[in-house]
Amino acid sequence: MLSNEKSSDALDLSHHLSKVGKARHTSPLKGLQKYMGKPGLISLAGGLPNAAYFPFSSVSGEILAPDSFPLKTDSEESSLSWFWRLFSRSDKERTLTFTVGKYSKRPGDLDLENGLQYGLATGQPKLNEVIREFVGKVFQPAYKNWTTLVHTGNTDAWFKTVQTILNPGEGLIVSEWTYPSAMASAQPFGIIPVPVGMDSEGMSSISLRQTLAEWDESARGMPRPHVMYTVPVGQNPTGTTMGIQRKKEIYDICVEYDIIIVEDDPYYFLQQGKYVPKSDRVAEPDTDDEVFIASLAPSYLKLDYQGRVIRLDTFSKTVCPGSRLGWFTCNPMFAERLERTAETSSQAPSGFTQIYVASLLLKWHYEGYMRWLKALRLQYKQRRDYFLDCFADEFHLKATLSTEGYTAGAHIYHASLKPKRSFVLLSEKDAAYSKPLFSFVPPSSGMFLWLELHLDDHPSFSSLGYKALEMKLWTEIADAGVLFAPGAMFFATPVEDDTPGYGHFRISFSNSTPEEMKTAVSTFSTVLRNFMKI
C-alpha cells in the first residue's frame, strides 16, 4: 500500500449494490428535512407533533462514574475473591447525573424538542459528533472520506446491509463456524453461505484464496461471491481473535478479487488475551489510552484504503443491549444507500436511547469512555479466567499444540474426568479416565467458550453418530438444570447425520455468578460421567 493511497477517497464500489440497493430513492417526506435547520424557516410541510404536547418536561438519569471498576487486580488474589467483592458490594455506587430539558439553552445542545421529534435516519448531531471522534481515534480508517451512520443494533444493521449489497442466489463468504442469526437474516433473501476453513485466528487466508481461485461458476451454480461476513474479534462461536497480519492477508485477497468485507465486531473491546493458568498469573499494569488502543487487534478499517469495509459497531456490549443503538462506519456511497433503507424501515434509533447514550458519553468525555472500556475488558477477562479455572478444578486438563482444523496453531486443552477415588492407582478398568471427553481452546476475546466433544467411546456412537449424541447429551445437561447452546446451529451449512466432524457446545461466561459457574461445570461433569457410563 502506498502512503498516498492511505489519504485518498474511497473507490467507486457502487457495482456491489444489489438491485434493491440501487432502486431505493429518498423518501419523499424525509427529503424535506434537509431544510429543517435553516434559520428562520417556517415549516408547514411535515406532520410533526407539537413539542409542547410531549408529556416530558425533562429526562434525567444517574450514570456510573467511568472509573467504577478497577484497571488492575492483585496478582496474589484468588480468582474468586475479586468476584465475591463485585457481587457483594456494600459501598454505594459512585454516580454522575445529567438532565436534558425540553428546550435547549444553547444552540446544538441536546433537548427533547428535537430529540423526541421525528428525525433524520442519520441520528442526532451531538451523538454523531461523539461517534465520529471515537472512530477516528480508535479505529483510524485508512481513507479520507469515511463516514458513520447510526443504526438500531448490529442485527438490524446486518439485515439492512444484506438488502443493500446482496441479490437472491448470490453467495456469501463466511467462516465454517459462524453466527447463526446472521445466516438466518440472509437466508430468506436466497443468500447462500460459502464456508471458508479456519485456524487459531479465525478465517484462514489460505483457505479463502483457494476457495476464490478455484471457483467454478458452473459447478457451484452461482457467480463467485463478492461479499464476506466476518466476526474477527471474539469470533462467534469459537472466541478467536484475528491479528493484523491475518487481516492484511485477507484484505489484500479481497482487493484482488473485489470483495466487500462486512466486519461485525460487537466484542472488539472484550479482547482478553491469552489464558494463563491460575498458578502462573501476574498482575497487569495499567496503560494509557494510546497504549491500550495499540494493544488491541486493529479493525479492518485501519487497513482499508479503498473503502470496501462496512463495519458494524454496537453499544450492546459496552453500554447495554436494550439501548438498541450502534453505528456503521463505511464509505459515503454505502452510507447513503443504508440511510435510504433506514428512512422507510426503522428510521432513526429511539430518541430516548440517543439522548441517554449521548448524555452518558458527553458526561464521561472520550477519556472517561476509554477508562470504562479498559476496565470492562478486565472484568470479562477475569470472568473468562474464573470459568476456565472451574474446568481445571473439575477435570484433568492437558495442553498441546494443535496442528489441524479450526484450532490449528493454538494451544488446545484436552479434558478428561478425574477419578472419583483419590490416592488409588488407575487400573485397566479406570483407563477411561485418561481419555479426553472434550477439548477447547481458551477464548482470547468475547463471551463464549467453545467445547469440542469427543464421544467416540460412547456405547452408541457407531449406531447414532456424533450429531445425535450431541443433542442427547445436551438434553441431559438441560434436564439437570444447565443450558448450553448446541454446536450444530453454528455450522455455516446445515449439519446432516453424515456430516463428518465432532459435536460442540457454546457456553457463555458473561452473565453468571461465581456459584452458578462452578455449579454449572460440576453439573456438566456429573452428567458427562453418567452419559459415558464411566
For residues 405 and 394, the answer to whether their CB atoms sit within 8 Å is no
CA distance 282 to 72: 10
Distance linking the first and last C-alpha atoms of the chain: 58
DSSP reduced 3-state for 61: strand
Which of 35-39, 108-112, 339-343, 462-466 has the lowest average pLDDT? 35-39
3-state secondary structure of 379: helix
Element (H, E) at 59: strand 58-64
What's residue 500's pLDDT? 76
Phi, psi of 205 (to 5 degrees): -70, -30
Residue 492 has pLDDT above 50, yes or no: yes
Q: Name the DSSP letter for residue 447.
A: S
Please report which confidence band the pLDDT of residue 418 belongs to, taking 50, 70 and 90 as the band edges: confident
Q: How far is CA 242 from CA 169, 172, 229, 327, in A?
A: 29, 20, 14, 22
The CA radius of gyration of the chain, in Å to the nearest whole number, is 25
pLDDT (0 to 100) of residue 1: 46
Q: What is the pTM of this model?
A: 0.92
Q: How many CB atoms lie within 10 A of CB 44?
A: 4
Mean pLDDT of 321-325: 96
Pick the closest to residue 125 from 10, 32, 33, 63 (CA basis): 33
pLDDT at 495: 79
DSSP state of 117: S
Rounded mean pLDDT of 134-144?
97
Tell me what pLDDT residue 212 has: 98
For residue 88, the model assigns a pLDDT of 52
Q: What is the pLDDT of residues 369-403, one digit of tens each?
A: 999 999 999 999 999 999 999 999 999 999 999 99
Average pLDDT of the segment spanning 223-244:
97
Q: Which residues pair with 329 in a beta bridge?
A: 148, 311
Residue 432 clears pLDDT 70, i.e. is over it: no
In angstroms, the CA 383 to CA 389 distance is 10
pLDDT band at 247 (very low <50, low <70, confident <90, very high): very high
As a whole number of angstroms, the distance between CA 53 and CA 112 comes to 11
φ/ψ of 368, rounded to 5, equals -70, -40
Query: How many whole angstroms separate alpha carbon 442 and alpha carbon 275?
Result: 6
Angle 527-528-533 (CA atoms, 0-180°, nearest 5)? Answer: 100
What percent of the chain has pLDDT above 70? Answer: 91
